Amino acid sequence: MNIFVLMKRTFDTEEKIVIQNGKVNEEGAEFIINPYDEYAIEEAIQVRDKLGGEITVVTVGNEDAEKELRTALAMGCDKAVLINIEDDVEESDQYTTAKIIAEYLKDKNADLILAGNVAIDGGSGQVGPRVAEMLGISYVTTITKLDIDGGKATIVRDVEGDEEVIEVSLPLLVTAQQGLNEPRYPSLPGIMKAKKKPLDELELDDLDLEEEDVAAKTKTVEIFLPPKKEAGKILQGDIADQVKELVTLLRTEAKVI
């Protein structure tokens, strides 16, 4: 099978993130593979090991993303592609990323494309479905189980606390939800092998794209941290008095009634 995984380099949200002038200050920040993309990588490896084929992991960004691509190769992917837009694109959004990836994939005859359900930094969940729409192939989001038999896939997807079973033909794009699998850690032999695996770097020119072709459709005005939680209040007195005080607080402070 010809398998592709869409990967994003994201901030490690378990580390301290500093907002400066309405943007995330990248200096000193820790970066990782988007956790939902790790599920996609793991599932791709399991599918390849069962059915054969080759996995190419693809990302759009700058040279700093090479570290995360090498990690994906150490996990078990076969090849990596970095589409470097640092010198070509000033502002990008989900449309930009999807357009570039779709242009790269359009002649690759992919059987299966996997992506994370969402990125933990933006959370839009748009890139995977946009790529599928641009390529004109089927897609299923938030999957928790994938079985492929011949040219068909049987999929279980999460639907807000319940499950939906779908049967669909290949080629196919799916987005991975938590619970699909347990991503592996790169082994020492895997890390050593990753150094020798191919990692190609492309630019917009290589895809016959101009900056205006991938211009962002949205604009981020400001990024800010959520407000700090205030200390909770313990109500005193008998039940009747507590109920009266609670109603008053909900009306005057929380303003929900």
- Asked if pLDDT for residue 164 goes beyond 80, the answer is yes
Kindly report the number of other CB atoms within 10 A of residue 118's CB atom.
23
Q: Report the DSSP beta bridge partners of residue 166.
A: 155
More confident of the two residues 88 and 19: 88
Closest CA to 175 of 212, 133, 141, 217: 141
- Work out the mean pLDDT of the chain and round it to a whole number: 91
Phi, psi values for residue 232, rounded to 5°? -70, 165
Q: In this predicted structure, what is the pLDDT of residue 196?
A: 94
pLDDT value, residue 46: 97
The least confident of 2-11, 35-44, 248-257 is 248-257
How does strand 112-116 pair with strand 172-176? parallel
Spatial contact of 142 and 166, defined as CB atoms under 8 Å apart: no
Query: Given this model, what pLDDT does residue 91 score?
Result: 86
pLDDT tens, 200-242?
999 999 999 999 999 999 888 877 777 777 778 888 888 998 8
For residue range 144-159, what is the model confidence (pLDDT) as tens digits? 999 999 999 999 999 8
Looking at residue 97, what is its pLDDT? 95
CB 24 within 8 A of CB 223: yes
For the chain, domains (ranges, CATH) are: 2-214 (3.40.50.620), 229-257 (no CATH)
Which pLDDT score is estimated for 30? 85
Band of pLDDT at residue 105, cut at 50, 70 and 90: very high
CA distances from 101 to 1, 61, 76, 107, 208 (A): 19, 11, 21, 11, 13
Q: What is the mean pLDDT of residues 232-255?
A: 86
Residue with the two structure tokens 């607080």:
249
107-143 pLDDT per residue, tens: 999 999 999 999 988 788 899 999 999 999 999 999 9
- Tell me the torsion sign for CA atoms 112, 116, 118, 124: negative
Whether residue 249 has pLDDT greater than 90: no
How far is Cα of residue 187 from the mean position of the Cα atoms in its chain? 23
Strand partners, 143: 157, 176
The token duo for 134 is: 């641009």
